[in-house]
Amino acid sequence: MQLEEQIEVSIVIPTLNEEQSIGLVLEGIRKQLPKAEVIVVDSSDDKTAEISSSFGAIVIKQDKRGYGAAIRAGLNRARGRILAFMDGDGTYDPSDLKRLIDIVGRGDADVATGLRFSSKPVGMSTARYIGNLIVNTVFSLLFLKRIRDTQTGMKVFSRGTYLKMRLKENGMPFSTEVLTEACRKSLRITEVRIGYHNRIGISKLNMFKDGVKILLFMIRERLPALRD
């Protein structure tokens, strides 16, 4: 009986109508991490799923349940020892993802998270940049842990770390929840400077609405009386 091949790295990409960008993203991943298991969790109406399949990605079709729900579906399907997620809109460079994976793989961090900010990234509007700074400041004050970029969509952790974290958010606060759970479990978080580019296609982010949801999530997580 042939033994199942051991998967070292699994990469989850949530997508919503990213047919213009997903091919370039997957091509970059294949160049940087040719043996990685790639899982695209797709809620698109366009050809994102077909393009992803043509690059050898595992495609999970899912109703529009939210950003966090999509990533959790992919992580629960993943077989890798190291788990990663990144956006499929072309804003992130797969070579940066490889650096985060290497850090976790060496055991230098429990959670490696991208750091886009030294100044305003080229691919980010001024309003969104200021909004991110506000969220980062509130997080640092509430959780007594300085994180300079809580909202980056590129994060990596081991399977063991994932199992320790009780991730349940379905929406945009999911990326923040990874960090709140890491803080709660006293896990080692390392920020790694990465590039950030102009997205390809139309943004689905509602800056004000999603920003308020993230702030309320952080307050609820920090104040036990407000938690479910």
CATH assignment of the domain containing 16: 3.90.550.10
* CA 217 to mean position of chain CA atoms: 17
Which among 14, 176, 206 has a CA at the least distance from the CA of 92? Answer: 14
How long is the chain?
Answer: 228
- Number of domains present in the structure of the chain: 1
Task: Provide the pLDDT for residue 173.
Answer: 95
Task: Provide the pLDDT for residue 201.
Answer: 64
Residue 158 in any domain: the answer is yes
Task: Provide the pLDDT for residue 168.
Answer: 95
Q: Output DSSP code: residue 133.
A: H
Residue 88 in any domain: the answer is yes
Taking only Cα atoms into account, the Rg of the chain, rounded to an integer number of angstroms, comes to 17
Nearest-angstrom CA–CA distance, 76 and 190: 23
CA-CA distances (angstroms) from residue 144 to 119, 138, 222? 23, 10, 11
Task: Provide the pLDDT for residue 120.
Answer: 58
Task: Provide the pLDDT for residue 2.
Answer: 46
Task: Provide the pLDDT for residue 177.
Answer: 98
Task: Provide the pLDDT for residue 65.
Answer: 86
Residue 2 in any domain: the answer is no
Residue 1 in any domain: the answer is no
Residue 81 in any domain: the answer is yes
Nearest-angstrom CA–CA distance, 38 and 52: 9
181: its two tokens: 């759970």
Strands (E), the chain: 9-15, 37-42, 58-61, 82-85, 111-115, 155-158, 189-193
Domain span including residue 81: 9-222
Task: Provide the pLDDT for residue 132.
Answer: 84
Q: The pTM is what? A: 0.89
* CA 75 to mean position of chain CA atoms: 11
Residue 31 in any domain: the answer is yes
Pick out the chain residues at pLDDT < 50.
1-3, 225
